[in-house]
Amino acid sequence: MRSVCWVVAVMVLVGGCGAPDQPGPDVSDKDAGSSKETRPLSPEEQFEQLNLDYVQAVEKAGDEDGLQSPTVADQYAGKFLELASAHPESRTAFASLNWVAVFAKDPALQNQAIDQMVANHVDNVGLSRLNMQMAQKPLSDESDAQLTTMIEKSSDESIRASATMALARQLSSVPEDQQDEERIKSLYQSVVDQYTSQPRMVAAASQALAKFRFRIGQIAPEIDGEDLDGQAFKLSDYRGKVVVLDFWGDW
Amino acid sequence: MYPHERSLVEQLADKPFALIGVNSDRDLESIRAIVKEKNITWRSFWNGPQGTGGPISTEWGVTGWPTIYVLDAEGKIRYKNVRGADMDEAITKLLAEMGQEVELTHAASLPTGSKQSTVRQRRRGGGGSASVQ
């Protein structure tokens, strides 16, 4: 991989495409000026190059979606992780880690990336988008810890809110009788109480909270309606009886 | 469904038991005709002209039909989506909590055949179900 970068670097310089280099000769980079042919790619350029290489590798494997090439994705995930750890605080690092979180097939690689995003980029708003994806995933000890850290450490409301929603969703993905109902409820409640700047999430959280009223063990909420002949009646009219409530339709 | 439900309503007529429907058909006239034609003897709320998008099913978060809730005498939700023999068992248990011992048996002519085979017919899926969206 590294050799590819160098080749491209050389081509760019020789071709003289007027790459938007840093202006002025006095660049802090130690290697600047040491060798004209071997200017190292900036982290951004390395990221772009890795992306291109990945696309080519996937195309070569005859699989444009990359869906059938988990090994290729994981192989590149390793390279993106390397790039990220070379410049851990940079935007490129975040983009690289995000690439791994999204494209890697191996959960261990994904977790490694997300752990680093949480450790070094807890205020990067890109985490909000990641959290929407996290919400769809099954609960694990790792994701629980990652999302909890975001909720505790991030100074950005959209990140804290989306992490709270994602964690509540993950906790809700296990069968109903195994759920930590109190924890799920308090997470949704905290979104409603604390994140008024995120109206869509507040709406989703209150909707989720409402569903708890219809769980086993709860007193059934009242139904005050009309029968098929237009006569008014209530569900509570049947207190004192065992009631089978059947949502039905003849179709 | 109808024969099993009708059988329950008949057998439990003198017990503290009620089968209450929430009907989600859009057209009130045609559902009234069906109630007569198919001898649906129990009472139903009407979910309104929006059908499956009506207010009652929306509030209850119902997205699959049929959806069943079984409530005890206090109005507490005790079972969800029990069908066939499982529904019988739920009802029997809740009545027993009230000191009412019942034994439910259904005619072999129920569409699902024996009582055992109705157990397999649980949950969504099967021809009779539908969902919103």
> Considering the domain boundaries, does residue A235 fall inside one?
no
- A138 and A114 within one domain: no
> Considering the domain boundaries, does residue A22 fall inside one?
no
- A134 and A73 within one domain: no
> Considering the domain boundaries, does residue A56 fall inside one?
yes
> Taking CB atoms and an 8 Å cutoff, what residues of chain B touch A229?
32
pLDDT digit string, tens, across residues A145-166: 999 999 999 999 999 999 999 9
Per-residue confidence (pLDDT) for residue A71, from 0 to 100: 83
Q: How many domains does chain A have?
A: 2
Return the minimum-mean-pLDDT range out of A13-22, A168-177, A188-197, B15-24.
A13-22
Interchain pair A228, B17: CB under 8 A: no
- A113 and A10 within one domain: yes
> Could you give the CA distance from residue A203 to residue A201 in angstroms, rounded to a whole number?
5
Domain limit, last residue, from A66, A96, A121? A121
- A202 and A101 within one domain: no
Q: Break chain B into its structural domains and give their ranges.
A: 2-125
pLDDT digit string, tens, across residues B49-97: 999 999 999 889 898 999 999 999 999 999 999 999 999 999 999 999 9
- Domain enclosing residue A58, as ranges: 1-16+33-121
- A96 and A7 within one domain: yes
CB-CB: which of A220, A225, A248 is closest to B69?
A220
Q: Cβ contacts of residue A36 below 8 Å, gap of 6+?
A: A13
Query: Phi and psi for A75 in degrees, rounded to 5?
Result: -65, -45
Interchain pair A247, B43: CB under 8 A: no
Average pLDDT score over residue span A80-100: 96
Nearest chain A alpha carbon to B64: A247
- A169 and A103 within one domain: no
> Considering the domain boundaries, does residue A112 fall inside one?
yes
> Considering the domain boundaries, does residue A208 fall inside one?
yes
Fold of B2-125: Glutaredoxin (3.40.30)
pLDDT digit string, tens, across residues A131-147: 999 999 999 999 999 99
- A146 and A65 within one domain: no
Beta-carbon-side half-sphere exposure of residue B64 (alpha carbons within 13 Å):
13
Tell me the ipTM for this assembly.
0.83
Per-residue confidence (pLDDT) for residue B118, from 0 to 100: 35
pLDDT digit string, tens, across residues A98-108: 999 999 999 99
- A141 and A89 within one domain: no
pLDDT digit string, tens, across residues B106-121: 876 555 433 433 333 3
- A67 and A50 within one domain: yes
> Considering the domain boundaries, does residue A116 fall inside one?
yes
- A91 and A140 within one domain: no
Of the candidates A99, A152, A146, A78, the one whose C-alpha atom is nearest the C-alpha of residue A118 is A146
Domain limit, last residue, from A75, A91, A121? A121
- A112 and A55 within one domain: yes
CA angle B65, B68, B73 (to 5 degrees): 155
> Taking CB atoms and an 8 Å cutoff, what residues of chain B touch A211?
61
CA angle B128, B132, B133 (to 5 degrees): 130
Interchain pair A248, B72: CB under 8 A: no
Instruction: Give the A:B interface size as CB pairs under 8 Å.
Output: 146
> Are A248 and B54 spatial neighbours (Cβ–Cβ below 8 Å)?
no
Of the candidates B36, B48, B75, B88, the one whose C-alpha atom is nearest the C-alpha of residue A227 is B48
Interchain pair B18, A233: CB under 8 A: no
Domain limit, last residue, from A86, A121, A156? A121
> Considering the domain boundaries, does residue A82 fall inside one?
yes
- A110 and A126 within one domain: no
Q: Which two tokens stand for residue A14?
A: 């020789």
> Taking CB atoms and an 8 Å cutoff, what residues of chain A touch B71?
220, 242-245
Distance from chain centroid for Cα B71: 12
